Structure 1
Amino acid sequence: MAEPLKKGARVTGPQRNKLAADLRKKYDGGRSIRSIAEETGRSYGFVHRLLSESGVSLRSRGGATRSKKKVAS
Protein backbone atom coordinates (compact mmCIF):
# COMPACT_ATOMS: atom_id res chain seq x y z
CA MET A 1 0.00 0.00 0.00
CA ALA A 2 1.34 3.39 -0.92
CA GLU A 3 -0.03 5.40 1.98
CA PRO A 4 -1.43 4.15 5.27
CA LEU A 5 -5.16 4.55 5.75
CA LYS A 6 -6.62 6.42 8.67
CA LYS A 7 -8.58 4.17 10.99
CA GLY A 8 -12.20 4.04 9.91
CA ALA A 9 -11.57 6.02 6.70
CA ARG A 10 -14.03 5.19 3.94
CA VAL A 11 -12.35 3.41 1.05
CA THR A 12 -14.10 3.63 -2.33
CA GLY A 13 -13.50 3.36 -6.06
CA PRO A 14 -10.05 2.64 -7.45
CA GLN A 15 -8.46 2.94 -3.98
CA ARG A 16 -10.74 0.15 -2.71
CA ASN A 17 -9.89 -2.04 -5.70
CA LYS A 18 -6.16 -1.54 -5.16
CA LEU A 19 -6.48 -2.26 -1.43
CA ALA A 20 -8.49 -5.42 -2.18
CA ALA A 21 -5.78 -6.60 -4.60
CA ASP A 22 -3.05 -5.94 -2.00
CA LEU A 23 -4.97 -7.77 0.72
CA ARG A 24 -5.71 -10.67 -1.63
CA LYS A 25 -2.02 -11.02 -2.46
CA LYS A 26 -1.16 -11.23 1.26
CA TYR A 27 -3.97 -13.69 1.99
CA ASP A 28 -3.06 -15.91 -0.97
CA GLY A 29 0.51 -15.81 0.31
CA GLY A 30 -0.61 -17.56 3.49
CA ARG A 31 -1.26 -14.66 5.87
CA SER A 32 -4.29 -14.84 8.14
CA ILE A 33 -7.13 -12.34 8.07
CA ARG A 34 -6.28 -11.36 11.65
CA SER A 35 -2.64 -10.64 10.87
CA ILE A 36 -3.59 -8.61 7.79
CA ALA A 37 -6.15 -6.64 9.82
CA GLU A 38 -3.58 -5.91 12.53
CA GLU A 39 -0.96 -4.82 9.99
CA THR A 40 -3.32 -2.52 8.10
CA GLY A 41 -5.06 -1.09 11.16
CA ARG A 42 -8.46 -2.21 9.89
CA SER A 43 -10.97 -4.51 11.54
CA TYR A 44 -11.21 -8.23 10.95
CA GLY A 45 -14.68 -7.70 9.47
CA PHE A 46 -13.46 -5.09 7.00
CA VAL A 47 -10.64 -7.30 5.73
CA HIS A 48 -12.94 -10.34 5.56
CA ARG A 49 -15.58 -8.35 3.63
CA LEU A 50 -13.04 -6.93 1.17
CA LEU A 51 -11.56 -10.38 0.50
CA SER A 52 -15.03 -11.83 -0.02
CA GLU A 53 -15.99 -9.01 -2.38
CA SER A 54 -12.84 -9.60 -4.42
CA GLY A 55 -13.76 -13.26 -4.97
CA VAL A 56 -11.15 -14.89 -2.73
CA SER A 57 -11.87 -18.46 -1.72
CA LEU A 58 -11.54 -18.18 2.05
CA ARG A 59 -9.73 -20.93 3.92
CA SER A 60 -11.49 -22.87 6.64
CA ARG A 61 -10.74 -22.09 10.25
CA GLY A 62 -7.45 -23.38 11.60
CA GLY A 63 -6.32 -24.46 14.99
CA ALA A 64 -6.08 -27.72 16.83
CA THR A 65 -8.74 -30.32 16.35
CA ARG A 66 -9.77 -32.82 18.94
CA SER A 67 -10.02 -36.47 18.13
CA LYS A 68 -10.77 -39.51 20.22
CA LYS A 69 -7.74 -41.42 21.39
CA LYS A 70 -7.49 -44.86 19.92
CA VAL A 71 -7.53 -47.63 22.48
CA ALA A 72 -5.07 -50.44 21.81
CA SER A 73 -6.70 -53.86 21.91
Structure 2
Amino acid sequence: MSDLTKEEIAFVTQNVANSNSLTVAEIYDELYDLTIKSMDMNDDPTDQTYYIERIMDKLFPFAGKKWTEIALVIT
Protein backbone atom coordinates (compact mmCIF):
# COMPACT_ATOMS: atom_id res chain seq x y z
CA MET A 1 0.00 0.00 0.00
CA SER A 2 1.11 3.54 -0.74
CA ASP A 3 2.23 5.70 2.15
CA LEU A 4 0.74 8.81 0.58
CA THR A 5 -1.06 11.08 3.00
CA LYS A 6 -4.56 12.37 2.37
CA GLU A 7 -3.02 15.79 1.74
CA GLU A 8 -0.71 14.37 -0.93
CA ILE A 9 -3.61 12.59 -2.60
CA ALA A 10 -5.57 15.86 -2.55
CA PHE A 11 -2.59 17.66 -4.10
CA VAL A 12 -2.46 15.17 -6.98
CA THR A 13 -6.21 15.27 -7.49
CA GLN A 14 -6.24 19.08 -7.52
CA ASN A 15 -3.15 19.60 -9.67
CA VAL A 16 -3.28 16.80 -12.23
CA ALA A 17 -6.18 17.09 -14.66
CA ASN A 18 -8.24 13.91 -15.07
CA SER A 19 -6.13 12.10 -12.47
CA ASN A 20 -8.82 9.47 -11.91
CA SER A 21 -8.52 8.27 -15.50
CA LEU A 22 -4.71 8.15 -15.54
CA THR A 23 -2.22 5.50 -14.57
CA VAL A 24 0.27 6.26 -11.86
CA ALA A 25 3.00 6.42 -14.54
CA GLU A 26 1.04 9.12 -16.38
CA ILE A 27 0.54 11.04 -13.14
CA TYR A 28 4.25 10.68 -12.43
CA ASP A 29 4.96 12.40 -15.77
CA GLU A 30 2.50 15.19 -14.97
CA LEU A 31 4.09 15.69 -11.57
CA TYR A 32 7.51 15.88 -13.18
CA ASP A 33 6.21 18.75 -15.34
CA LEU A 34 4.94 20.45 -12.17
CA THR A 35 8.40 20.20 -10.58
CA ILE A 36 9.84 22.12 -13.52
CA LYS A 37 7.12 24.78 -13.26
CA SER A 38 7.60 25.10 -9.49
CA MET A 39 11.24 26.14 -9.71
CA ASP A 40 12.13 29.74 -9.01
CA MET A 41 13.39 32.32 -11.52
CA ASN A 42 16.95 30.98 -11.23
CA ASP A 43 15.77 27.41 -11.89
CA ASP A 44 16.43 26.47 -8.28
CA PRO A 45 14.03 24.09 -6.54
CA THR A 46 11.46 25.54 -4.16
CA ASP A 47 9.67 23.94 -1.21
CA GLN A 48 6.89 22.96 -3.60
CA THR A 49 9.42 21.28 -5.90
CA TYR A 50 10.65 19.12 -3.03
CA TYR A 51 7.08 18.36 -1.93
CA ILE A 52 6.18 17.14 -5.42
CA GLU A 53 9.38 15.07 -5.61
CA ARG A 54 8.48 13.35 -2.33
CA ILE A 55 5.09 12.44 -3.78
CA MET A 56 6.81 11.13 -6.91
CA ASP A 57 9.14 8.98 -4.81
CA LYS A 58 6.15 7.41 -3.10
CA LEU A 59 4.37 6.78 -6.41
CA PHE A 60 7.28 5.15 -8.21
CA PRO A 61 6.61 1.57 -6.99
CA PHE A 62 3.01 1.79 -8.26
CA ALA A 63 3.78 2.83 -11.85
CA GLY A 64 1.70 0.01 -13.39
CA LYS A 65 -1.48 0.79 -11.45
CA LYS A 66 -4.35 3.20 -11.98
CA TRP A 67 -4.45 6.25 -9.71
CA THR A 68 -7.87 5.24 -8.42
CA GLU A 69 -6.50 1.88 -7.26
CA ILE A 70 -4.05 3.44 -4.83
CA ALA A 71 -5.98 6.60 -3.92
CA LEU A 72 -9.03 4.64 -2.80
CA VAL A 73 -6.99 2.50 -0.42
CA ILE A 74 -6.10 5.56 1.62
CA THR A 75 -9.33 7.58 1.54
TM-score relative to the length of structure 2 = 0.32
TM-score relative to the length of structure 1 = 0.32
Higher relative contact order structure (alpha carbons within 8 Å, sequence separation ≥ 6): 2
Which has a greater percent of helix?
A: 2
Q: Which has the larger radius of gyration?
A: 1
